[in-house]
Amino acid sequence: MAPILEIKDLTHVYSAGTPFEHTALNHVSFSVERGEFIGIIGHTGSGKSTLMQHMNGLLKPTSGSVVLDGKDIWSDKILTRQARFRVGLVFQYPEYQLFEETVYKDIAFGPKNMGLDAKEIDRRVRESADFVGVTPEQLEVSPFDLSGGQKRRVAIAGVIAMEPEVLILDEPTAGLDPIGRAEILENIERYRKAKNATIMMVSHSMNDVARLTDRLLVMNHAELAMDAVPGEVFRRTDELLEMGLDIPDVTRVFLRLRELGLPVEPIYTMEQAISALRQLKEGAAHA
């Protein structure tokens, strides 16, 4: 089967031909397999949001192509339109885009645009609200009466109500408290399992991407600097630090332990840390 997404030699120039001309993506290529959970990391201004907005056709490449399920989404109007629904994009701070009178109408906006009938729209609104923990009572209030975390959930419900095959989230936990963050991440994992969906998530949390993703794309100054499994990416500590990025907390602790002479391998998740420490303890018991 073809990859669900193929990004081929993608370049994006903002305000081309003006004094504000800026190349935000420079010959970026990668592909995404069905069902993968991809993390995107990179310093501020490296091009992450610009890249995400190409995945569903919101931005048009200056050159290069975005291929969804084997077809260039810009080769035909119908394909461009389909990409909007098949690839769901949750913006950075999506709560600023809520605008309807009620939460219900906001969640219904996407399914309505898809041309679904009223009964199907209603099913999807209720199902996705329930999925993210928005109560039936909350569906009737104005989105502006909700807390920040609740608004974020409504915005996410509005995207998953389109039941996209690919769910793209641009820093979905930014600005939330630890409980709100955990809830959003749990919702993403559940959506992935329920729909066998492909996930792409931009994040500043190295701990989160290390724990959740299958593969990481590292953006640096408009270029794709790395495309590898988390273990491989986090092994390149010096390069990451040079790009203004961090490494997971446990990775940092283990690097320090190695410096102190303990026989541990580099790791990047809490589970790996626990099993490595267990081995170390057993080794000590047998010594």
- CA dist 211 to 62, 99, 124, 206, 208, Å? 34, 34, 30, 8, 5
Applying CB under 6 A, among 11, 14, 35, 93 the residue interacting with ligand ADP is 14
Q: Could you tell me where the DSSP H helices lie in the chain?
A: 48-55, 77-86, 103-113, 118-132, 148-160, 178-195, 206-212, 230-235, 237-242, 249-259, 270-286
- CA dist 203 to 8, 64, 102, 198, 206, Å? 23, 25, 29, 16, 8
Could you say whether residue 90 binds ligand ADP (CB under 6 A)?
no
Could you say whether residue 49 binds ligand ADP (CB under 6 A)?
yes
Applying CB under 6 A, among 5, 32, 46, 149 the residue interacting with ligand ADP is 46
* 196 interacts with, out of ligand ADP, Mg ion, none, CB within 5 to 8 A per kind: none
State how far the Cα of 22 lies from the Cα of 59, in Å rounded to an integer: 15
Nearer to Mg ion by Cβ, of 88 and 111: the residue is: 88
Nearest of 67, 82, 92 to residue 162 by alpha carbon: 82
CB of 197 to Mg ion, least distance (A): 22
Could you say whether residue 205 binds ligand ADP (CB under 6 A)?
no
CB of 95 to Mg ion, least distance (A): 16
- Tell me which stretch binds ligand ADP (CB under 6 A): 44-52, 97-105, 238-246, 278-286: 44-52
Nearest of 12, 163, 3 to residue 67 by alpha carbon: 3
Applying CB under 6 A, among 39, 47, 61, 248 the residue interacting with ligand ADP is 47
* 136 interacts with, out of ligand ADP, Mg ion, none, CB within 5 to 8 A per kind: none
- Tell me which stretch binds ligand ADP (CB under 6 A): 14-22, 68-76, 185-193, 273-281: 14-22
3 state SS of 189: helix
Could you say whether residue 175 binds ligand ADP (CB under 6 A)?
no
- Other CB atoms within a 10 A radius of the CB of residue 224 amount to 22
* 93 interacts with, out of ligand ADP, Mg ion, none, CB within 5 to 8 A per kind: none
Could you say whether residue 269 binds ligand ADP (CB under 6 A)?
no
Q: Which residues bind ligand ADP (CB under 6 A)?
A: 14-15, 22, 24, 42, 44-50
